[in-house]
Structure 1
Amino acid sequence: MSISATEDPPAKEEAYPPFPLTLLPDTLAMSCFALLPRSDHASLSLVSKKYNSVLASQEFYKTRSLLGRTEECLYVCLTTNPNSTPNWFLLHRDATSKQLIPIPSSPSQPETFSSFVPLDWGIYVIGGFKDGDVRSSDVSLLDCRTNTWRKVPSMSVARATAAAGVVDGKIYVFGGCQELNSSNWAEVFDPKAQMWETFEPVSDPSEGDNVMRETLVMDEKVYGVGFWNGSLLCYSPREREWGRNNTPEEVNNYYCVIENVLYGCDEAGNVVWREQEEWEWKRVKGLEALQKVFSGLNNVNRPFAARKRVRKLSSFGLNIVVFWVGFRGDIWCAEISLERREEEGEIWGRIEWSEAVATVYSAFRRAKVEVLYATTVHV
């Protein structure tokens, strides 16, 4: 069939123009992605497999870091009853509400007394007890860029209640062994080489050195806080020397370090601070409202099950966060900003917000909730 000169030719199917970012070189596209807030990453990853691969890459994390676009994210690990798999959450906060958002938990994570170490974009979960009283040498890594888990090389010895901290990009672990005099009592992990190596253990170990309830890193030294008496054992990787501090920390306190200042908080909500080289604690001023929350702690007329007490203290950037559990298992959090007044030699705190961030309870019985760990990761 011929087409006369007066007839219009058949219309061609209209093609959609390519998505502009697909026309850019990969490095330039990655820089554009890095400028987006992290809340948009989940949607962007669904556009294509290529974009999902870019967002999960080490290069993308480095680009965000170089551009100053990483964000402070608070990760929290909870357990709701003894011998249960710990649950992981990410704190979501905006102008209207704050809440703990569940993220996938590692099915292989031990139930209790693991050590936790934040490094770069991830959190390492080291050792712990499985099946009640069986120590584990396993190490898992939570990739906070994608909130996924993977195994990393295991330690040479099983541990629980060990001290673990980062100095110069390496993870130093000591204590928590079945045998106090084990030749592998102290190990260091190099994430770049993916290898564990032993280093010289403390020469005069005691049983208290083997059971740590908390780790502090100050002045390029790793401190283990003794579980039973608050004794302090420290290791300096640069000097390759062990040391002890004669003044133990309070056993009912929780601790965190911000800009080389040590902060402590007892179960009654009293927040204190001191410099690394000092031993005299000073009270953080301006937090009377926080202390009133726990004012019934020592009230003998109040049933113990109904009392509130602090369960964890953590840094959140340059702020501190305090966690406690309410009467019905609801988990509360207060974020406190800090102001140092040099002339007065004081630090003042201000409660930026305080509210319930999660509820874990049964209609028939009160859940036993423990805050195992909380830390900030920049992603």
Structure 2
Amino acid sequence: MSSSSSSSSSSSSSSSSESESEPPTGICLIPSLPDDVALNCLARIPRPYHPVLSLVSKPIHSLFSSPHFYHARFLLNSTQHHLYLTLRSCASTLLWFTLHRTPSRILLVPFPSQPSPAIGSAYAVLGSTIYVIGGSINDVPSSHIWLLDCRFHRWRRGPSMRVGREFAATGVVDGKIYVIGGCVADNWARSANWAEVLDPASEKWERVASPAEVREKWMHASAVVDGKVYAMADRGGIALDPRCGAWESVGTELDLGWRGRACVVDDILYCYDYLGKIKGFDVKSGVWKELKGLHKGLPRFLCGATMADLGGKLVVVWECGGGNGKDMDIWCAEIQVSKKNGELWGEVDWFQKVLSVPKGSSIVHCSSVAL
């Protein structure tokens, strides 16, 4: 769920990185230009134009479907952040979408969900991959991990956790994925592995030592701020500092003010409260502040609000009743956030309806991925 930054190279093995760094040769991407120069040019073009450009020639079409191309974009710092959204339909089916932008339209485009979808999965983003962690299948917590390669929208199984979990807290720190709670510590295995960490390079989970007094907590939200994994629980939130292995209380101010799903933008944790306000919490000062400047740009109440850090901008997705009474609309807003004179200010770049779904559907999660 976290939005902490990490390089895409951290999520792949050394052999994979080496193969991705080797540019394709001899395919004549652009006549009269060497392929390495053509690749350098094409990798700088914004991703929304790729579908049209892929029609120009077979070599360009093949390039856009190649890991070499995305590795070049990463090296050239040409990646763009893209929003991924998970919905649960009224029939309890899990639906996946990505926000697609063209010069004239912004809409959510569907693509196939993972096999064996679960209820209460946790999410983490590492490089160009979304990790879907655990969840309940037929009311049994699962240890399974599914990996979505967002470059090509391909799913594959990841390394299973040591114990099954649902509604766990997650966070990415220094290229590793930490998972906290989501299981009943009623035997040795679940107590010892109440917190785990995945090293994507070795694809192995290792236990993270945790004090016995925190293992009775059930998580409802999580985020990474300043290198610490914050896990909000039913009775008092906790924070893990992976670099020293220390656990600590999050403090009363954060504990009382954090409501619902949240995200972190520029070290400020944002959430949406029951009074219809977007608030930001500065962990260093320990103070909540209202995000000002939105009263003219957004509706007062945003049902089911979910947030993500989209390349330094705050994106909010929410549910709204459809006009015919049978549908539910999904709306999205992109907000520039900044600090001015000690206050938090937001300016809405745009907001609009991006999808209509049958009534009874609900937003599960949204993630930001750099591609």
Q: Tell me the TM-score range normalised by the shorter chain.
A: 0.7 to 0.9
C-alpha spacing 1:318/1:221, structure 2 compared with 1 (3 Å): same
C-alpha spacing 1:90/1:205, structure 2 compared with 1 (3 Å): same
Relative to the length of structure 2, the TM-score reads 0.82
CA distance in 2, matches of 1:201, 1:241: 9
Instruction: Compute the displacement of 1:359 (Å).
Output: 0.2
Quote the residue 1:219 is aligned against. Answer: 226
Equivalent position to 2:315, from 303, 316, 321: 321
**Count of aligned pairs:** 334
C-alpha spacing 1:127/1:22, structure 2 compared with 1 (3 Å): farther
CA distance in 2, matches of 1:20, 1:258: 38
Instruction: Compute the displacement of 1:201 (Å).
Output: 2.1
Equivalent position to 2:357, from 360, 363, 372: 360
Quote the residue 1:338 is aligned against. Answer: 337
Structure with the bigger RCO (C-alpha within 8 Å, sep 6+) is 2
Instruction: Compute the displacement of 1:285 (Å).
Output: 1.1
Alpha-carbon displacement from aligned partner over 1:53-103 (angstroms, at most 9, x marks no partner):
77432x433321121211111111111236x23111111234433211112
Identity level (%): 37
Quote the residue 2:115 is aligned against. Answer: 107
Q: Which amino acid aligns with 1:245?
A: V
- Contact conserved, 1:255 with 1:313, CA < 8 A, in 2? yes
Quote the residue 1:138 is aligned against. Answer: 144
CA distance in 2, matches of 1:139, 1:20: 37
Instruction: Compute the displacement of 1:158 (Å).
Output: 0.6
Structure 2: segments with no counterpart, 5+ residues = 1-26, 323-327
Q: Which amino acid aligns with 2:370?
A: H
Aligned CA-pair RMSD: 2.5
Quote the residue 1:179 is aligned against. Answer: 185
SS in 1 for 2:214: coil
Quote the residue 2:212 is aligned against. Answer: 203
CA distance in 2, matches of 1:103, 1:267: 32
> Does residue 1:269 correspond to 2:273, yes or no?
no
CA distance in 1, matches of 2:54, 2:240: 43
Match runs of 1:218-257 below 5 Å: 218-226=225-233, 228-229=234-235, 231-247=236-252, 248-250=255-257, 252-257=259-264
Instruction: Compute the displacement of 1:203 (Å).
Output: 3.4
Instruction: Compute the displacement of 1:292 (Å).
Output: 4.5
Q: Which amino acid aligns with 1:163?
A: A
Q: Which amino acid aligns with 1:234?
A: A
Relative to the length of structure 1, the TM-score reads 0.80
- Contact conserved, 2:48 with 2:102, CA < 8 A, in 1? no
- Contact conserved, 1:258 with 1:315, CA < 8 A, in 2? yes
CA distance in 1, matches of 2:45, 2:223: 34
Structure 1: segments with no counterpart, 5+ residues = 1-17, 295-307, 362-366
Alpha-carbon displacement from aligned partner over 1:152-179 (angstroms, at most 9, x marks no partner):
1111111111111100000011111133
Instruction: Compute the displacement of 1:237 (Å).
Output: 1.1
Alpha-carbon displacement from aligned partner over 1:125-180 (angstroms, at most 9, x marks no partner):
0000112x111111011111111111111111111111111000000111111335
- Contact conserved, 2:264 with 2:270, CA < 8 A, in 1? yes
C-alpha spacing 1:30/1:150, structure 2 compared with 1 (3 Å): farther
- Contact conserved, 1:79 with 1:370, CA < 8 A, in 2? yes
Q: Which amino acid aligns with 2:154?
A: T
- Contact conserved, 1:129 with 1:160, CA < 8 A, in 2? yes
Alpha-carbon displacement from aligned partner over 1:12-68 (angstroms, at most 9, x marks no partner):
xxxxxx8554887665554344233323444666755896377432x4333211212
SS in 2 for 1:326: strand
Alpha-carbon displacement from aligned partner over 1:311-367 (angstroms, at most 9, x marks no partner):
3122222211222211131111122111321xx211211121121110002xxxxx2
Instruction: Compute the displacement of 1:220 (Å).
Output: 0.7
CA distance in 2, matches of 1:196, 1:22: 48
